[in-house]
Amino acid sequence: MPDASLLTSLFPEEVVTRALVRDVELPDGAGTMALITLDNGLDHTRPSTFGPAGLLALNDALDAVATRTDIAAVGVTGKPFIFAVGADLSGAPLIAARDEALTIARLGHAVFRRLGELSVPSFAFVNGAALGGGLELALHCSYRTISSGVTAAAFTECFLGLLPGWGGTYLLPRLIGPRNALTVIVENPLSQNRMLRAAQAYSLGIADAMFEPADFLAESLRWAARVLTGSAVVTRAVPAGGWDTVSWDQSVADARLFADGKLHGAAPAPYRAIDLVAAARGRTRDEGFAAEDEALADLLLSEELRAGLYAFDLTQKRARHAAGAPEESLARPVTKIGVVGAGLMAAQIALLFARRLEVPVVLTDLDQARLDAGLGHVRAEVARLRDRGRISADAAARLTALVTGSLTRDAFADADFVIEAVFEEMAVKQRVLAEVEAVVRPDCVLATNTSSLSVTEMASGLAHPSRVVGFHLFNPVAMMPLVEVVRGAATDDATAATALAVGARAKKNCVLVKDAPAFVVNRLLTRFLGEILACVDEGTPFEVAEHAPDSLGLPMSPFFLLQLVGPAVALHVGETLATAYPDRFAVSPKLRALVAAGKTAVYRPDLTVDESVADMLAGGDRPSTAEEVRERALEALAEEIRLMLDEGVVAGPEDIDLCMILGAAWPFHLGGITPYLDRAGIAEKVTGTRFHP
């Protein structure tokens, strides 16, 4: 057993997961099972994890059962709703020495592998969430059952910058085959950290049996008894002669292609995981685990993991309590909502509020046809959710009834919160807000979904500008977790608190932003894209510019982003920013030409480039190399972020990163962006200082 004393100072905050052992008499005369329950003593919102003390506690429990001759089997299960969610990562940022990192890796192996090396069979009864090391613990057991209620079984490590290195990369491919294992280990975490539901884990062969949550443990024990007495036979996917080399190698090659497509080599963890799976077929258990130890130790010391842990912490903590937020108690109750405009955003916003806040929502628009189109969108979406089994028929009927339409503003008279999502034009928005103010109560909050216009200016002509707030949701509304809550110069605390409370009830993460052109995400994406388009305007070939940022591992190429936002919208935001900051933002002549020609897409549906667009982007006599384009775009970002922080647009670089992670899906391995700009030396070069000391 590795000497864990090296680690104790690194994990002062470890919530120790205890391993409580009790004897259970199995039915059918199958004997006694020593059943270990993993429980950190807190409720399900604080899931059990394994730090050094937790691993040692499990080791003690295994000491106690390993020598017993009176038991037929050992079982492991979790506290309500949770099996175990993996390693305690609280100490990971403090690990500075390779021997500390290696010790953590070895300790996990040393303890978990005992479950597969007892003199009696072991059973994991996966009653709830099983992530990372939790799932690995189950894999070390001889057999597994899973509750059909489990919604989160996954190896999330590669998403964070680690890999399943407590046995996962060795055991899983040998159990379910390399292709499915690589889906779980690499593809899912790189696909917005997708997780498996119980039925998927069962059909992949990760679990041998699945039972209903209500009597999960009792059924699992009955099943274990049948396995022990030989009346239940466990079949596995493993082919009789073992997994063949050809399909193993092909699966590995496919996974590398997949990782390249997503990351272009930008983060090491998924590649290390693929290498380990590639080699797992020909390794002994000792060799496989030793290779995992080395890989884990390397990654535990990597900058990408540090950025990943920083990003994870932001999304777990700062995202739930916006920095600089006024007292929550100032928020006013919201029991009815009005939405002005029934277009693309408004219809999605109406559905979000009805679904999450479960309050009546009234939509309005200029005429009956547009209103009907908006309501039609809501109904179609509700029907889709129902047909996919995401909501019950009753809930669908309730939701449909909650969203109504009206062509007169009187329907807003008793609303507590009215949000406008009309055309992005200052004069239109000012007029709409004034009309709404004329009918609502004095304490009704007036919100705007503007993506770039000044909230202060929009509110300036109103009787009560203090009740106006920006509430910038992103498209598609149901998927994008961020709301930029924008305080105008006059916005009062109660209004900001109400907007934040509405955002939280809508299950969104809010960042509080000062009123500044295009706020955070659009300003930074526009600056980034603007520099790349400027290079194209100067003569950089499209293909060079397109791939210039590849090595950052961003979620999409700059021109995909342009297509997603829509060239016309991008131009509009660009113009707003160029007016506000003419020294740094310019409107690209080639973009202007694309919009004038009515081009709405850069790529065809088959993802090839539309040649007519490529032709319009050609021309110019000062081409840059890909590296020059990337550097220029990153330096511009560093400059812009520094200016935003100096302007007080957000409370700190953490909020910039949170916005980029949640609003633009920028990756964890960059930490959003500021940790990367620091570590690449770009922040220091451009601004003379780092974002994080």
Ligand X SMILES: NC(=O)c1ccc[n+]([C@@H]2O[C@H](COP(=O)([O-])OP(=O)(O)OC[C@H]3O[C@@H](n4cnc5c(N)ncnc54)[C@H](O)[C@@H]3O)[C@@H](O)[C@H]2O)c1
Closer Cβ to ligand X, 392 or 600, answer by number: 600
Using CB under 6 A, which of 58, 76, 340, 561 touches ligand X? 340
CB burial of 429-464 (b: ≥16 within 10 Å; e: otherwise) equals bbebbeebbebbeeebbbbbbbbbbbbbebbeebeb
Closer Cβ to ligand X, 432 or 525, answer by number: 432
- Alpha-carbon distance of 344 to 347, in angstroms, equals 6
Closer Cβ to ligand X, 365 or 640, answer by number: 365
Question: 21 burial class (0-12, 13-18, 19+ CB within 10 angstroms)?
Answer: middle
Cβ distance 570 to 529 under 8 Å? yes
- Alpha-carbon distance of 424 to 171, in angstroms, equals 54
Closer Cβ to ligand X, 425 or 443, answer by number: 425
Instruction: Please report whether residue 564 would count as binding ligand X according to CB under 6 A.
Output: no
Strand order in the sheet with 153-154: 82-84, 129-131, 153-154
Closer Cβ to ligand X, 331 or 421, answer by number: 421
Nearest approach, Cβ of 448 to ligand X (angstroms)?
7
- Alpha-carbon distance of 309 to 291, in angstroms, equals 23
Enumerate residues 6+ apart whose C-beta is below 8 A from 293.
Answer: 102, 105, 106, 109, 165
Q: What is the CA radius of gyration of the chain?
A: 28
Neighbouring CB atoms inside 10 A of 605's CB total: 6
Instruction: Please report whether residue 362 would count as binding ligand X according to CB under 6 A.
Output: no
Closer Cβ to ligand X, 203 or 579, answer by number: 579
- Alpha-carbon distance of 288 to 170, in angstroms, equals 6
- Alpha-carbon distance of 655 to 676, in angstroms, equals 15
Using CB under 6 A, which of 121, 149, 205, 343 touches ligand X? 343
# chain residues binding ligand X, by CB under 6 A: 22
Closer Cβ to ligand X, 343 or 620, answer by number: 343
Using CB under 6 A, which of 94, 199, 366, 438 touches ligand X? 366
Cβ distance 426 to 451 under 8 Å? no
Instruction: Please report whether residue 687 would count as binding ligand X according to CB under 6 A.
Output: no
* DSSP annotation of 689: S
The interface region with ligand X, picked from 123-131, 254-262, 446-454, 623-631 by CB under 6 A, is 446-454
Closer Cβ to ligand X, 306 or 572, answer by number: 572
Nearest approach, Cβ of 600 to ligand X (angstroms)?
13
Instruction: Please report whether residue 345 would count as binding ligand X according to CB under 6 A.
Output: yes
3-state secondary structure of 395: helix
Instruction: Identify residues 385-444 at the interface with ligand X (CB under 6 A).
Output: 421-424, 428, 432
Instruction: Please report whether residue 571 would count as binding ligand X according to CB under 6 A.
Output: no
Using CB under 6 A, which of 77, 220, 451, 557 touches ligand X? 451
Cβ distance 658 to 672 under 8 Å? yes
Using CB under 6 A, which of 164, 167, 341, 517 touches ligand X? 341
Nearest approach, Cβ of 349 to ligand X (angstroms)?
9
Closer Cβ to ligand X, 27 or 555, answer by number: 555
Closer Cβ to ligand X, 39 or 381, answer by number: 381
Instruction: Please report whether residue 450 would count as binding ligand X according to CB under 6 A.
Output: yes
Two structure tokens written together for 664: 């633009």
Closer Cβ to ligand X, 263 or 529, answer by number: 529
Single-letter amino acid code for the residue at 449:
N
Instruction: Please report whether residue 344 would count as binding ligand X according to CB under 6 A.
Output: yes
- Alpha-carbon distance of 623 to 544, in angstroms, equals 9
- Alpha-carbon distance of 487 to 471, in angstroms, equals 9
Instruction: Identify residues 197-236 at the interface with ligand X (CB under 6 A).
Output: none
Q: Which residue is nearest to ligand X (CB)?
A: 343
Nearest approach, Cβ of 568 to ligand X (angstroms)?
10
Using CB under 6 A, which of 262, 370, 386, 508 touches ligand X? 370
Instruction: Please report whether residue 651 would count as binding ligand X according to CB under 6 A.
Output: no
The interface region with ligand X, picked from 165-173, 221-229, 359-367, 457-465 by CB under 6 A, is 359-367
Using CB under 6 A, which of 90, 430, 475, 551 touches ligand X? 475
Closer Cβ to ligand X, 326 or 341, answer by number: 341
Instruction: Please report whether residue 474 would count as binding ligand X according to CB under 6 A.
Output: yes
3-state secondary structure of 154: strand
Nearest approach, Cβ of 526 to ligand X (angstroms)?
13
Using CB under 6 A, which of 169, 180, 188, 364 touches ligand X? 364
Using CB under 6 A, which of 59, 220, 251, 449 touches ligand X? 449
Instruction: Please report whether residue 365 would count as binding ligand X according to CB under 6 A.
Output: yes
| Residue labelled with tokens 């500044």 | 516
Q: What angle do CA 600, 605, 611 make, to 5 degrees?
A: 65
- Alpha-carbon distance of 148 to 137, in angstroms, equals 19
Question: 660 burial class (0-12, 13-18, 19+ CB within 10 angstroms)?
Answer: buried
Closer Cβ to ligand X, 18 or 370, answer by number: 370
Q: Report the interface residues with ligand X, using CB under 6 A.
A: 340-346, 364-366, 370, 421-424, 428, 432, 449-451, 474-475
